[in-house]
């Protein structure tokens, strides 16, 4: 019984975050047991203490199973939901960089930017046949957003970013002669960098001869962020010429989607307007609000003793994983699961395949991993998917553990931006 394992803690005392460190798992276990205390004040104090630790406790909270007492399940659910939201919102904020004023080599500055932001940065100059030099730079940053700081550094060093590399990283290359500097050309909503890169006018002679003005932007996101999708509702987009006269959005009812899956960190998005009068020389301002589907912290659902796992389910945060069947399928063993989110925020729409790439594997008692040889979707709904995984296992899988990893929360984050002074052709 949870109640028999009650640990006496001082009511209302905040956890000692400075002393947590390696003791954090032990402190979390004690607080979780206290969630089943016979005294309401102690239950409330334990819940508050877990929240005080912040998202660091998420890795140490137990999943909610059919054997978890109802009261403990409710409190664990509240704690997880709040901390998952905090973690996801932090993911949607820009990482920042601080460097005291001084002179540093380019390689040293890049190393600091990488360490402080959590974003991988790759020097790809040699790969593209560009000269590799390591100049001294005068830098000074005080909690500067990552992209703003990086743009400043790259302009000083005569470099730019190649955003379509084969790794999830910022790839640095030489800025070619005649190319514009990066500072002053973009806006930085959250972890994104939005820059206009092309403007053109066109006329479709087959459909009424309507002339269109098209502004193509490049949207780049910090490599540490893995957005499920980026969407642009055109109803949020407004633009005006240099005199303040509004530009008419071509299709205000449309919602444009930016592909964001795989290892890429950038994509293009084109905004279409009815072409202004020929005397207009600039777009004075273009603003809108991007919607980013940001996954929360990845949670691992573990089901011990595979042959006994059928019918078991676990809940972590806003996600529930249920094992629907464990059976032999020819020479393979098949594990069928159902994954349900309280609110998938549109992340499970049929054209989005991220959920089918979530890790799923078996573990031996010695910790060895057995990957599946085949995976097939069995259902896909607004907030739920089903999957069947087949494993090649020697002998009965009695002692094996099934592990499934997925973000326990998906947030729809609004990221407003504004671009200014865009010259027309």
Give all domains of the chain, ordered by start, each with its CATH number: 3-91 (no CATH), 96-174 (3.55.50.60), 193-289+416-423 (2.60.40), 298-408 (2.60.40)
Least confident of 73-77, 127-131, 323-327: 73-77
pLDDT at 290: 96
Q: Between β-strands 238-241 and 192-203, what pairing exists: parallel, antiparallel or unpaired? A: unpaired
Q: Which of 305, 300, 344, 306 has the alpha carbon at shortest distance from 325?
A: 306
The answer to whether 167 and 179 have CB atoms below 8 angstroms apart is no
Residue 294 above 70 pLDDT? Answer: yes
Supply the pLDDT for residue 208.
64
Q: Are strands 246-247 and 255-258 parallel, antiparallel or unpaired?
A: unpaired
Determine the pLDDT at residue 353: 87
- Report whether pLDDT(207) > 70: no
81 pLDDT band, cuts 50/70/90, is confident
Q: Is pLDDT of 360 > 90?
A: yes
The CA-atom distances, in angstroms, between 86 and each of 91, 176, 347, 424 are 9, 41, 19, 42
| Per-residue pLDDT, 179 | 87
- For position 13, what pLDDT does the model report? 42
Between 145 and 208, name the one with better pLDDT. 145
Per-residue pLDDT reduced to its tens digit, 308-353? 999 999 988 889 999 999 999 889 999 999 999 999 989 998 888 8
> Dihedral, CA atoms, 89, 94, 100, 105, nearest 10 degrees?
130
pLDDT value, residue 298: 87
Per the DSSP assignment, residues forming a β-bridge with 187 are 194
pLDDT tens profile 49-67? 999 998 888 888 888 888 8
Over residues 184-212, the mean pLDDT reads: 87
CA distance 6 to 35: 8
Predicted local distance difference test score (pLDDT) of residue 66: 81
Please determine, for residue 106, whether its predicted confidence score (pLDDT) is greater than 90: yes
Q: Considering only 106-120, 194-208, 410-424, which range has the smallest mean pLDDT?
A: 194-208
| Residue 6's pLDDT band (cuts 50, 70, 90) | very low
DSSP letters, 255-272, are EEEE---TT--EEEEEEE
Mean pLDDT of the chain: 89
- The rounded distance, in Å, linking the Cα atoms of 59 and 320 is 16
The CA-atom distances, in angstroms, between 401 and each of 182, 184, 323, 332, 408 are 50, 53, 12, 16, 20
Lowest mean pLDDT among 72-81, 137-146, 338-347, 367-376: 72-81
Question: What's the confidence (pLDDT) of residue 15?
Answer: 52
């Amino acid at each position: 019984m949870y109640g028999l394992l009650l640990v006496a803690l001082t009511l209302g005392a905040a956890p000692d975050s400075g002393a947590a460190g390696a003791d954090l798992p032990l402190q979390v276990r004690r607080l979780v047991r206290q969630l089943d205390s016979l005294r309401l004040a102690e239950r409330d104090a334990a819940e508050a203490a877990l929240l005080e630790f912040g998202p660091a406790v998420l890795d140490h909270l137990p999943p909610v199973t059919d054997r978890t007492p109802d009261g403990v399940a409710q409190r664990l659910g509240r704690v997880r939901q709040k901390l998952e939201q905090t973690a996801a919102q932090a993911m949607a904020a820009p990482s920042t960089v601080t460097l005291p004023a001084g002179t540093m080599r380019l390689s040293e500055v890049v190393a600091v930017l990488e360490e402080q932001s959590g974003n991988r940065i790759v020097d790809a100059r040699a790969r593209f046949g560009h000269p590799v030099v390591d100049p001294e730079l005068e830098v000074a940053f005080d909690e500067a957003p990552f992209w703003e700081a990086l743009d400043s550094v790259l302009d000083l060093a005569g470099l730019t970013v190649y955003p379509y590399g084969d790794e999830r990283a910022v790839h640095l290359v030489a800025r070619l002669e005649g190319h514009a500097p990066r500072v002053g050309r973009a806006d930085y909503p959250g972890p994104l960098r939005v820059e206009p890169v092309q403007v053109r006018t066109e006329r479709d002679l087959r459909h009424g001869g309507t002339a269109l003005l098209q502004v193509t932007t490049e949207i780049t996101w910090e490599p540490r962020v893995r957005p499920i999708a980026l969407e642009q509702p055109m109803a949020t987009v407004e633009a005006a010429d240099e005199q303040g006269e509004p530009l008419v959005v071509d299709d205000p009812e449309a919602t444009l989607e930016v592909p964001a899956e795989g290892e890429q960190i950038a994509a293009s998005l084109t905004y279409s307007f009815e072409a202004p009068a020929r005397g207009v020389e600039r777009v004075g301002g273009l603003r809108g609000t991007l919607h980013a589907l940001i996954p929360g912290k990845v949670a691992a659902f573990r089901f011990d003793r595979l042959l006994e796992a059928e019918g078991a389910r676990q809940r972590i945060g806003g996600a529930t994983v249920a094992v629907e069947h464990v059976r032999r399928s020819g020479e393979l063993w098949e594990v069928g699961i159902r994954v349900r989110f309280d609110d998938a925020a549109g992340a499970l729409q049929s054209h989005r395949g991220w959920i089918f790439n979530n890790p799923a594997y078996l573990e031996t008692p010695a910790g060895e991993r057995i990957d599946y040889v085949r995976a097939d979707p069995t259902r896909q709904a607004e907030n739920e998917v089903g999957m069947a995984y087949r494993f090649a296992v020697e002998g009965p899988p009695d002692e094996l553990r099934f592990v499934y990893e997925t973000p326990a929360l998906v947030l729809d984050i609004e990221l407003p931006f504004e671009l200014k002074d865009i010259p027309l052709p």
